[in-house]
């Protein structure tokens, strides 16, 4: 998966273009997706969806530990809900014994096993939006551009259909 991304930092050739698109890249290095085909994107979607959703779930628990059981993160005799709000779970997880970390990981995997890949990707959309916002991307412009592009495509398909319909009518009247 790492082969599909490029780490962009201050020494990268495309640093200026990346900072223009993602202003927060000026403060820290970021990974940018390389140009990949649809097959590779379909392979990456569930992997990234699960990863982003897991990180999002952990961040939600860091903000409010009482959400741990509802998100499926209470496992292995390690009750996350007993931690004080604001505890850095990522740092804590690095210090956990392997068996507890495995129990938490399997609990998260169990939560994902009951979900379809499309549902995981849809649930991760909020996390993706948060990451884009954190990178300084204008989400409203991104959404507006998408709607305009798809709307234009729909209008072109409609126009092509109308032209074909007129041509069929014209040719039918000429042959009759």
**In this predicted structure, what is the pLDDT of residue 74?**
55
Give a three-class secondary structure readout of the chain.
CHHHEEEECCCCCCHHHHHHHCHHHHCCCEEEECCCCHHHHHHHHHHHHHHHHHHHHHHHHHHCHHHCCCCCCCECCECHHHCCCCCCHHHHHHHCCHHHHHHHHHHHHHHHHCCCHHHHHHHHHHHHHHHHHHCCCCHHHHHHHHHHHHHHHHHHHHHHHHHHHHHHHHHHHHHC
Contact 104, 71 (CB under 8 A): no
**Block residue for tokens 């809900």:** 81
**In this predicted structure, what is the pLDDT of residue 108?**
81
The per-residue pLDDT string of the chain (176 residues; one tens digit each, 9 = 90 and over) reads 888 899 999 999 989 999 998 898 899 999 988 999 999 988 888 888 888 888 888 887 777 777 666 665 555 556 666 777 677 888 888 888 888 888 878 888 888 888 888 888 898 898 899 889 999 999 999 999 999 999 999 999 999 999 999 999 999 999 87
**In this predicted structure, what is the pLDDT of residue 85?**
67
């Amino acid at each position: 998966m790492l082969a599909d991304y490029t780490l962009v930092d201050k020494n990268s050739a495309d640093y200026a273009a990346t900072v223009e698109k993602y202003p927060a890249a000026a403060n820290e290095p970021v990974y940018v997706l390389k140009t990949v085909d649809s097959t590779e994107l379909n392979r990456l979607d569930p992997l990234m969806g699960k990863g982003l959703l897991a990180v999002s779930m952990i961040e939600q628990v860091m903000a409010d530990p009482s959400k741990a059981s509802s998100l499926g993160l209470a496992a292995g005799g390690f009750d996350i809900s007993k931690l004080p709000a604001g505890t850095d779970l990522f740092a804590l997880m690095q210090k956990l014994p392997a068996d507890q970390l495995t129990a938490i990981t399997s609990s998260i995997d169990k939560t994902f096993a009951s979900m379809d890949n499309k549902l995981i990707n849809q649930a991760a959309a909020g996390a993706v939006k948060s990451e884009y916002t954190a990178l300084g991307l204008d989400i409203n412009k991104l959404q507006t551009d998408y709607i305009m592009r798809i709307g234009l495509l729909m209008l072109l398909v409609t126009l092509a259909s109308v032209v074909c319909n007129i041509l069929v009518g014209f040719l039918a009247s000429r042959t009759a």
